[in-house]
């Protein structure tokens, strides 16, 4: 039996689809301890990982514009759109909003992933979008590991790293709630890239800190009005440890995590915040278009260029949630 191919008419339909450029849903919210944790969004008795992720969705989906805090180093959030984000050659692909302003850059690293196994979950290979610290080659660690531990009723959260150092995320008088994410178990361990400290105590007495931005490539690093500075190119994708470049035609999931581990006295830890994200070309198609064949056990069905199943309905075609991987 010869394979069937997607008709030209369906190619046109896929090209004309109107995708939502904003976040559809948050898949994971795993913050590290911090002064805004359990408040942005607010934890309520009985909340678990799923309900906290849903609260984050309500904060961020469809450009709602509210802010989610990721806590100290390593804390992260994972989200997706209602379509794959296409890597458009020669263009920025993603715009991610934080709450950075002049002198307050709380940089977060951006990671991307394809749904390789087609199960709709962010459980496949992850790649880091390389930023300017890689080019500047100063003080970056790519194999950093940090563990946070809650001891009894102590309000300060202990941390230790794989460099033999230890300390505390100290509670301050401005934010008196529990700093450890209440729905997660202690200890809490993160592994990833550590950016060099960017904070300077310009007062000399701990009362005024300036957090300088990196040149490019990090979330919550520059004000949202700096559209280019808050934008990201999928072509920047690298293997997290080897830093080897990776070629991706599209991504299905995006993750942001706090990349700084420093204490700034009265302003505490420097947590990345996220207030939204946008696909800069939501209706783009992959650069390389190949005929899409029907699997033998799907006789009579058709698939668009992203591998989503198209089924006849009311005289036309609708997209149903079933993903296949289309590789360039």
CB neighbours (10 Å) of residue 22? 18
d(C-alpha 212, C-alpha 199), whole Å: 7
Domains of the chain by residue range = 1-18+288-328, 20-279
d(C-alpha 18, C-alpha 282), whole Å: 8
Listing DSSP states for 35-68 in one string gives: TTTTBTTBP-TT--HHHHHHHHHHHHGGG----E
Residue 155: per-residue pLDDT: 79
CA angle 305, 309, 312 (to 5 degrees): 115
Give the predicted TM-score (pTM) of the model.
0.82
- Edge-first strand order for the sheet with 141-149 is 166-169, 157-161, 141-149, 188-194
Q: Which residues pair with 273 in a beta bridge?
A: 69
d(C-alpha 47, C-alpha 85), whole Å: 31
Length of the chain: 328
- Helix, strand counts (H, E) of the chain: 3, 22
pLDDT in tens, the chain (328 residues): 333 333 333 333 344 458 999 999 999 999 999 999 999 999 999 999 999 999 999 999 999 999 999 999 999 999 999 999 999 988 999 999 999 999 889 999 999 999 999 999 999 999 999 999 999 867 899 999 999 999 876 678 999 999 999 999 988 878 888 999 999 999 999 999 999 999 887 777 777 779 899 999 999 999 999 999 999 999 999 999 999 999 999 999 999 999 999 987 777 889 999 999 999 999 998 754 333 333 333 444 444 344 444 444 333 333 323 232 222 2
Residue 153: per-residue pLDDT: 67
């Amino acid at each position: 039996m010869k394979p069937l191919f997607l008709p030209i008419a369906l190619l046109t339909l896929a090209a004309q689809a109107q995708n939502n450029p904003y976040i559809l849903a948050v898949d994971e919210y795993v913050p590290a301890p911090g002064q805004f944790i359990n408040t942005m969004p607010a934890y309520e008795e009985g909340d678990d990982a799923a309900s906290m992720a849903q609260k984050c969705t309500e904060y961020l989906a469809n450009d709602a514009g509210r802010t989610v805090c990721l806590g100290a180093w390593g804390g992260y959030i994972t989200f997706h759109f209602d379509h794959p984000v296409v890597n458009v050659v020669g263009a920025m692909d993603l715009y991610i909003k934080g709450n950075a302003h002049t002198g307050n850059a709380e940089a977060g690293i951006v990671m991307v992933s394809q749904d390789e196994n087609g199960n709709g979950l962010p459980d496949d290979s992850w790649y880091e979008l390389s930023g300017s610290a890689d080019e500047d080659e100063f003080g970056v660690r790519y194999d950093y590991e940090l563990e946070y531990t809650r001891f009894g009723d102590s309000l300060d959260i202990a941390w230790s790293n794989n460099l033999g150092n230890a300390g505390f995320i100290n509670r301050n008088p401005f934010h008196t709630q529990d700093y450890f994410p209440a729905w997660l178990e202690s200890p809490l361990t993160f592994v990833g890239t550590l950016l060099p400290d960017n904070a300077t105590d310009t007062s000399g007495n701990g009362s005024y800190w300036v957090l300088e931005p990196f040149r490019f490539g990090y979330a919550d690093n520059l004000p949202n009005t700096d559209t280019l500075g808050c934008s990201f190119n999928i072509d920047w994708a690298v293997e997290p440890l080897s830093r080897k470049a990776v070629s991706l035609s599209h991504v299905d999931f995006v993750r942001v995590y706090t990349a700084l581990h420093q204490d700034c006295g009265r302003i505490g830890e420097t947590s990345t915040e996220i207030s939204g994200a946008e696909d800069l070309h939501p209706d783009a198609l992959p650069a390389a278009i190949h005929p899409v064949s029907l699997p033998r056990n799907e006789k009579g069905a058709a698939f668009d260029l992203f591998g989503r199943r198209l089924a006849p309905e009311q005289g036309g075609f609708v997209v149903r949630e079933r993903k296949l991987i289309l590789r360039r």
